[in-house]
Amino acid sequence: MRIGQGYDVHKLAEGRDLILGGVKIPYETGLLGHSDADVLVHAVMDALLGAAALGDIGEHFPDTDPQYKGVSSIELLKRVGELLEERGYVIENIDATVIAQKPKLLTYRPEMARNIGQALKLPDGKVNIKATTEEGLGFTGKGEGISSQAIVLLTSMEDYCYDDRIMEEGCKGCCKGCGK
């Protein structure tokens, strides 16, 4: 099992859409960034990449690269999912929190979880999204920005293969499909 933790923060600015978890939320300001600045998805991506020891989103999708200007973070999340799949990782669960004084996010959370789950080809119940305020404290509490934290649990396909690296005598035929 591998655990990853992610964090992201973006400043609120006029003239930008507020996108969280791939959901466009009606609000007077949006998050400033090179892409759509979806702090929730960015935190999830960093948690996934960290759990797999694959660096961070800045390495994979640098903000100096024009191809990522204004890109949907959900599209970038799909690529992270492909990287994990290529390396034999299975996402067991994702738990994330958005920290914002305003707007209230309760009604958007199910759609955010669905968007993230669909981007990663996960069944329902694998993604949990929460939202909280900071009671008027700090930059998020003063409405200057929004941050997000995420934690994920990955397993590797190797974790499911009981061979001589794990058990001295191998799996002894415990798996019908493995042929051992």
Query: What tens digit of pLDDT does each residue of 67-126 get?
Result: 888 899 999 999 999 999 999 999 999 999 999 999 999 999 999 999 999 999 999 999
Q: Which CATH class is domain 2-157?
A: alpha beta
Residue 9 has pLDDT above 80, yes or no: yes
- In this structure, what is the dihedral angle of CA atoms 76, 81, 84, 88, given to the nearest 10 degrees? -160
**Sign of the C-alpha dihedral, residues 114, 39, 104, 3?**
positive
Q: Provide the pLDDT confidence category of residue 179 given band limits of 50, 70 and 90.
A: very low
Higher pLDDT, 101 or 175: 101
* C-alpha closest to that of 47 among 105, 110, 89: 89
C-alpha pair distances (Å), 86 with each of 47, 64, 78, 82, 121: 17, 26, 12, 6, 14
Q: Which residue has the tokens 């969280």?
A: 20
Q: What pLDDT, on a 0 to 100 scale, did the predictor assign at position 131?
A: 97
pLDDT for position 172: 52
pLDDT above 70 coverage of the chain, percent: 88
Cis amide linkage into residue 62, ω under 30° from 0: no
Binding annotation: 8-10, 34-35, 42, 56-58, 61-65, 132-135, 139, 142
Binding-site residue ranges for a divalent metal cation:
8, 10, 42
